[in-house]
Structure 1
Amino acid sequence: MQTEGPSGTALHTAAARAAHLIVDGEPVVFHDPFAYALLGECAEDYVRLHREMADHPVLAGLRAAVVSRSRYTEDRLARAVRRGVRQYVILGAGLDTYACRSSGPVEVVEVDHPGTQSWKREALARAGLPAPPRLTYVPADMESGQCPVDRLVAHGFDLARPAFVSWLGVTAYLTGEAVARTLTGLGRLAPGSEIVVDHVLPEALRGPRARAYAETLMPLVAGGGEPWLTFLSPREAADLLEEHGFEVIEQVPERDAAGPALRERTDALASSEISVITHARRRAGRRAG
């Protein structure tokens, strides 16, 4: 992660959400009306790639991954809110806009590198978007050894109340040690807390589309200083979560995460099939850590 401003992946992720509304047809998988504005003066530079090469398999695959995992996560979050959950933690939030789009009772906590958060605050102001009233920024660097849950508690987070946690587009960029350390902290959450996390499949489990996507994208992100480091099979992800006090609710291939809205499309938007989303719930009993 860069020390000043968001990472390249955070910018490209926001651009993918913005471009989905511009270059992809109906049905819309995920609606983020603020992503383009948040990118500010660099928005068109990032979105132009999608305008000019909308059907490129890497760009279409990136859009599909971003919007399908966001759709899946926020659908599950909505269910949790209906059950009474009022704390939503976004690990590696980047330029996520849920707090801008939501008018509900949820307290949103964004955990990310302080440089990203500072840039985002300024970007919201430049775009004329009001500061979300129920948003708390928690600066943390998961790779450096900081425990995000310790940082959450220091900023007023209530470990006694269940929370919903999203951890999207992050684990591949962390070492296995950092992933396990973060899960150890999350094991302190109240029973009934939920997590949605996506993870990139190991090479041996990738089909032809996923292999082609990885062969193109991995050198690009590595060249930008953000190499993929951790790959997890569904079984490995489930075992890791269970080891840290979670029970798996479901595991969904990326291509199925948004249901027919993605799977049955006839345009260029298509899953790269390189990742799986795991949804898990914190078990009752003694907290980890």
Structure 2
Amino acid sequence: MRDGTASRTAMMVAAARAAHLAVDGEPAILRDDVVAALLGDAADELVGYHRAHGDHVVLWGTRALGVTRSRFVEDRIAASGVEQYVLLGAGLDTFAFRNSDVRVFEVDHPDTQAWKRELISTAGLAVPEGLEFVPLDLERGGLAERLAAAGFDPRRRTLVGWLGVSVYLSRATVETTVRAVAGLGAELVMDYMVPPGLRDGIGREYGAFADQAVVESGEPYRTFLTPDEAEALVAECGMRTRAHVGMEDAVPAGTWRRDDVLRPFVFSRILDATALT
């Protein structure tokens, strides 16, 4: 994203999470009942757009991708018993408002984070006691230092979620960030976008629209990885792959027995890795 502006893609993803409960049927993949309040006056218009045009691939695809990756990481947090959750590129994520058992460190570009804090205030939402805001441009490094200044405890079991972000960063920044997570001794759940040649038909159709949208928003895609490249990258950075899944396997199998338009497709994958140290 460009300095001085909040992330437009963060708004698009938040709108998709809000629309999921309003537009799609059961079973709900993710029950985020806070994000609509966070979106404030814009919620009705954004969700209304999904109501009117929600069967378009770029809209239902964004809903499916956004809620699936969030469900995966939130299920992993619940199953692993972590005490700290570091969310890189937090955007308008609301995990901290829906879960009080885990200390949350939201790391994001200063401009986007300031915008989110304004939305929280305008919505009249109370900032959870266990939520720490960590302003940081990942392209400039310094993750470990900023977390330490915010009270991060390296002795506590930690999971780092990095969702919908790596594709917007340079390959060098992706590697630097993974090394920093390994240095924390944390578990990492990240998603990454596969090259167009590895996508299925729906993935290529979705990508054609999504590519144009992100370019117009000023936040173009920059880094694509094959599955082998993703596993090699985390290994080179001092981490071991624990799980590596596509959309179909990222959530419980019954999730995809649906009557609405949502279905898994090949566009990105989720990699779960643990630090070797």
The two structures have a TM-score, normalised by structure 1, of 0.92
Query: In 2, distance between residues paired with 1:162 and 1:169?
Result: 23
CA contact (8 A) 2:182 2:274 kept: no
Q: CA deviation at 1:170?
A: 0.1
Query: In 2, distance between residues paired with 1:272 and 1:3?
Result: 33
Query: Does 2:253 correspond to 1:253?
Result: no
Match of 1:107 among 103, 115, 123: 103
Query: In structure 2, do the counterparts of structure 1 residues 90 and 154 end up closer, same or farther at CA, with 3 Å as the change threshold?
Result: same
Number of the residue aligned with 1:179:
174
Number of the residue aligned with 1:163:
158
Number of the residue aligned with 1:287:
none
CA contact (8 A) 1:2 1:115 kept: no
Query: Does 2:55 correspond to 1:55?
Result: yes
Q: CA deviation at 1:205?
A: 0.9
Query: Does 2:82 correspond to 1:89?
Result: no
CA contact (8 A) 1:201 1:274 kept: yes
Number of the residue aligned with 2:124:
128
Q: How does 1:1-289 map to 2 (within 5 A)?
A: 1-4=1-4, 6-81=6-81, 85-104=82-101, 106-143=102-139, 145-190=140-185, 193-284=186-277
User: Structure 1 stretches of 5 or more lacking a match?
Assistant: 285-289
Query: In 1, distance between residues paired with 2:115 and 2:275?
Result: 33
Which AA in structure 1 matches 2:109? Answer: H
Which AA in structure 2 matches 1:279? Answer: D
CA contact (8 A) 2:73 2:189 kept: yes
Identity of aligned residues (%): 45
Query: In 1, distance between residues paired with 2:47 and 2:4?
Result: 22
CA contact (8 A) 1:246 1:281 kept: yes
**What is the aligned-residue RMSD (CA, Å)?**
1.4
User: Structure 2 stretches of 5 or more lacking a match?
Assistant: none
Q: CA deviation at 1:56?
A: 0.9
Aligned to 1:136, the other structure's residue is in SS state strand
Aligned to 1:197, the other structure's residue is in SS state strand
CA contact (8 A) 1:187 1:246 kept: yes
Query: In 2, distance between residues paired with 1:217 and 1:141?
Result: 23
Query: In 1, distance between residues paired with 2:3 and 2:17?
Result: 24
Aligned to 2:209, the other structure's residue is in SS state helix
Aligned to 1:62, the other structure's residue is in SS state helix
Aligned to 1:187, the other structure's residue is in SS state helix
Can you list the C-alpha shifts for 1:215-259, whole angstroms capped at 9, x where unaligned?
111011111101111111111111111111111111110232123
Query: In 2, distance between residues paired with 1:147 and 1:204?
Result: 34
